[in-house]
């Protein structure tokens, strides 16, 4: 005697979708915000860039809620002295740096990030370095 599976193919997918839709969604909420909205909540201030590419500054929480998991996007863009005839290798790189801890409402948190591995030094150009907010979590108190 052979038995067939209770659900197969599309039936399994339908059951999975039904089960997932029944789960509470409170912990899964995310939203994508415009640059302007992000700038009203969190910003990078007092940015300093050293010759070796180390960046330091402060992240400022402009909101009335705690923020955490702030990710900074650090970009090292190589600019060739002669852009019409660039070299073979582009040493540009970027990385995310996540600040430890939380930032209280209207608070600040200092940061320092040193590139690892070190930026390559080569003739024929220079790095342009920028730091922007790549992501964060805003802790919004639950209302009753």
Whichever domain contains 77, its CATH number is 2.60.40
- Residues spanned by the domain of 69: 33-139
Position 89 scores a pLDDT of: 83
Domain assignment present for residue 28? The answer is: no
Residue 21 lies in a domain: no
CB 132 within 8 A of CB 59: no
Asked if residue 6 is part of any domain, the answer here is: no
Q: Per the domain annotation, does 98 fall within a domain?
A: yes
pLDDT in the model for residue 38: 84
| Residue 110 included in any domain | yes
Residue 40 belongs to some domain of the structure: yes
Angstrom distance (rounded) from CA 90 to CA 77: 9
Residue 79: what pLDDT? 92
Looking at residue 9, its pLDDT comes to: 54
Q: Is residue 17 part of a domain?
A: no
Instruction: Confirm if 92 and 119 have CB atoms less than 8 A apart.
Output: no
Q: What is the pTM of this model?
A: 0.73
Count how many domains the chain has.
1
Q: Are 90 and 120 in contact (CB under 8 A)?
A: no
Averaged pLDDT, groups of 10, the chain, 144 residues long:
52 51 53 81 96 96 96 95 79 95 96 94 91 93 80
Residue 111: name the closest of 88, 84, 89, 136 by CA: 136
């Amino acid at each position: 005697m052979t038995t067939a599976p209770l659900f197969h193919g599309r039936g399994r997918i339908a059951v999975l979708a039904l089960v997932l839709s029944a789960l509470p969604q409170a912990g899964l909420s995310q939203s994508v915000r415009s640059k302007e909205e992000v700038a009203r909540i969190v910003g990078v201030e007092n940015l300093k860039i050293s010759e070796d590419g180390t960046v330091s500054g402060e992240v400022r929480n402009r909101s009335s809620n705690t923020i955490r998991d702030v990710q900074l996007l650090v970009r090292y863009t190589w600019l060739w002295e002669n852009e019409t005839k660039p070299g073979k290798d582009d040493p540009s790189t970027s990385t995310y740096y996540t600040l430890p801890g939380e930032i209280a409402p209207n608070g600040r948190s200092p940061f320092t990030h040193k590139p690892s591995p070190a930026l390559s030094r080569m003739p024929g150009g220079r790095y342009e370095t920028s730091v922007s907010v790549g992501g964060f979590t805003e802790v919004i108190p639950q209302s009753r």
